[in-house]
Amino acid sequence: MGFTKPGFTLIKRAIAGGLLSAAMVNAISSERKEQEVRMYVEINLEQLIQEQEERIGIQYPAQRPVIHYHLPADKSGNFGLYDRKTNEIFLQNDRYELPDWDVETVYDTINHELAHYYLDKLSEKRTNTNWPEYNDRTMLEKLGIKLISEGTATYIERKMNGKEDTFTDAKWPKALGGFFSSWELIPKDEIVYSGGFHLVKPIIDRYGEKGIEYLLFNPPKGQEMFNLPLYQQRILEELSRP
Ligand SMILES: [Zn+2]
Calculate how far, in angstroms, residue 186's C-alpha sits from the geometric centre of ligand 1: 14
Provide the 10 A C-beta neighbour count for residue 197.
Answer: 25
Cα 47–Cα 53–Cα 56 angle in degrees, nearest 5: 130
Neighbours of ion ligand 1 (CB under 5 A): 150, 153
Distance CA(198)–CA(192), nearest Å, equals: 10
Calculate how far, in angstroms, residue 151's C-alpha sits from the geometric centre of ligand 1: 8
Calculate how far, in angstroms, residue 38's C-alpha sits from the geometric centre of ligand 1: 20
Calculate how far, in angstroms, residue 157's C-alpha sits from the geometric centre of ligand 1: 10
Calculate how far, in angstroms, residue 230's C-alpha sits from the geometric centre of ligand 1: 24
Q: Which residues contact 123 (CB under 8 A, 6 or more apart)?
A: 129, 130, 131, 216
Calculate how far, in angstroms, residue 28's C-alpha sits from the geometric centre of ligand 1: 29
The pTM of this model reads 0.86
Q: Which residues contact 102 (CB under 8 A, 6 or more apart)?
A: none
Calculate how far, in angstroms, residue 237's C-alpha sits from the geometric centre of ligand 1: 27
Which pLDDT tens digit goes with each residue over 145-175?
999 999 999 999 999 999 999 999 999 999 9
What's the confidence (pLDDT) of residue 186?
Answer: 87
Calculate how far, in angstroms, residue 113's C-alpha sits from the geometric centre of ligand 1: 6
Residue 23 pLDDT exceeds 90: no
Which pLDDT tens digit goes with each residue over 39-71?
999 999 999 999 999 999 999 999 999 999 888
Calculate how far, in angstroms, residue 235's C-alpha sits from the geometric centre of ligand 1: 22
Calculate how far, in angstroms, residue 20's C-alpha sits from the geometric centre of ligand 1: 38
What's the confidence (pLDDT) of residue 14?
Answer: 33
Calculate how far, in angstroms, residue 154's C-alpha sits from the geometric centre of ligand 1: 7
Calculate how far, in angstroms, residue 84's C-alpha sits from the geometric centre of ligand 1: 11
Overall size of the chain counted in residues: 242
Residue 28 pLDDT exceeds 70: no
58 within 8 A of 78, measured Cβ to Cβ: no
Distance CA(49)–CA(41), nearest Å, equals: 11
Calculate how far, in angstroms, residue 146's C-alpha sits from the geometric centre of ligand 1: 9
Which of the four pLDDT bands, split at 50, 70 and 90, describes residue 18? low
Q: In what order do the strands lie in the sheet with 80-83?
A: 66-68, 88-91, 80-83
Calculate how far, in angstroms, residue 220's C-alpha sits from the geometric centre of ligand 1: 18
Judged by average pLDDT, the poorest of 81-95, 135-149, 204-218 is: 81-95
Calculate how far, in angstroms, residue 171's C-alpha sits from the geometric centre of ligand 1: 21
Distance CA(144)–CA(130), nearest Å, equals: 17
Calculate how far, in angstroms, residue 236's C-alpha sits from the geometric centre of ligand 1: 24
| CA–CA distances in Å: residue 171 to residues 74, 98, 114, 156, 240 | 32, 31, 28, 22, 27
